[in-house]
Amino acid sequence: MDIAVTANLRDEIRQSLKERYPKIHWHYIRSLQELDTNMAQQVEAVVTFGGDITEEAAAQLPSLRWIQILSAGVENLPFDALQARHIQVTNARGIHAIPMAEFAIGLMLQEVKQFTTLYEQQQRKEWYKKLSFGECFGKTLTVIGTGAIGTAIANLAKALGMHVIGVNRTGGARSEFDEIVQQDRAHLALEKSDFVVIVAPLTASTKHWFNDRMLSCMKPDSVLINLGRGELIVEEDLIHILKEEKIARAYLDVFQVEPLPADSPLWSLPNCVITPHVSALTPLYVDRSVVILEDNLKNYLQQEALVNTIDLEARY
């Protein structure tokens, strides 16, 4: 079996894979274009971070049967072409859960404990205690998306004593949440939430989901946190909401265009905090993704069901 790997894996990981799977021919390349004609004919699987999987690239791999993406996002894949050839696609869904959950909790704690303000006072050598501190305890959190990341956020939030509402496509019950609301009734959850954290996938039904109508359902003192995808929000509508102070603050880690253009009004809004798409970063990222790769490789070789399989029709 031939596997092309365009993901940049450390030398020790490459050596481990070679030793553990000696019958597999591993082709480590920077892009699929580096494969010569003969090698391209033989490649049965591709391990990638996803950006190089185009319809044209897949067409050059006639033996391709499986694509393992070492990230969670799959929205740019050529779904129709892959589905027509019955190519299995799996991703690394779940590896972001720990860092992103911690990031979300950190932002909520920042909001109620004002760590930034305290640090700024320190820089001025100012001793001032009359700040308005709050608590996460007793607050209502709505998590948009109840997958691995949303579930991890819910578990940490409940440990802080928060009431957690989950929003998902079907409204199906999840034990980690106090309540579950179906996607088309999400506005009902927003109306009573102190914090709203978005970690939903980008699909046809969620693109530009948070427009002016949805954002206007949030309470004036509520906080929005988007760690999912930039296109889940209509940025122009959010800018208007923030300028009108219809919500207290937005913490944004993802944007419609990245890097965020220098002329975006979001940079200068006092009630908007910008982070450069870093909520999922962790030194353990690659190691965790390789665990999923190995699990799937074992299943593939034994002709068993793969984990984290992407529904090519639903596109996530």
pLDDT in tens, 36-47: 999 999 999 999
pTM for this structure?
0.90
Q: List the chain domain ranges.
A: 2-94+284-301, 97-274
- Supply the DSSP string of the chain, one letter for each residue: -EEEE-S---HHHHHHHHHH-TTSEEEE-SSGGGS-HHHHHHEEEEEE-STT--HHHHHT-TT--EEEESSS--TTS-HHHHHHTT-EEE--TTTTHHHHHHHHHHHHHHHHH-HHHHHHHHHTT----------STT-EEEEE--SHHHHHHHHHHHHTT-EEEEEESS----TTSSEEEEGGGHHHHHTT-SEEEE-----TTTTT-B-HHHHTTS-TT-EEEE-S-GGGB-HHHHHHHHHTTSSSEEEES--SSSSPPTT-GGGG-TTEEE--S-TT--TTHHHHHHHHHHHHHHHHHTT-PPSSB--TTTT-
Q: Cβ(200)–Cβ(311) under 8 Å?
A: no
Average pLDDT over residues 87-115: 97
Q: What is the pLDDT, as a whole number, of residue 282?
A: 96
Confidence band of 33 (pLDDT split at 50, 70, 90): very high
Nearest-angstrom CA–CA distance, 156 and 99? 12
pLDDT in tens, 124-180: 999 999 999 999 999 999 999 999 999 999 999 999 999 999 999 999 989 999 999
Q: What percent of the chain stands above pLDDT 90? A: 96
Average pLDDT over residues 297-315: 96
Phi, psi of 146 (to 5 degrees): -115, 30
Q: What is the pLDDT, as a whole number, of residue 230?
A: 97
Nearest-angstrom CA–CA distance, 15 and 284? 18
The yes/no answer on whether domain 2-94+284-301 falls in CATH 1.10.760.10 is no
Which pair of tokens denotes residue 168? 């998902």
Topology match between the domains 2-94+284-301 and 97-274: yes
Q: What is the pLDDT, as a whole number, of residue 72?
A: 87
Does the pLDDT at position 73 exceed 90? no
Q: Which fold has domain 97-274?
A: Rossmann fold (3.40.50)
Nearest-angstrom CA–CA distance, 309 and 188? 32
Average pLDDT over residues 197-215: 96
Q: Give the angle subtended at the CA of 116 by the CAs of 119 and 264, to the nearest 5°.
A: 135
Of 72, 74, 118, nearest to 99 by C-alpha is: 72
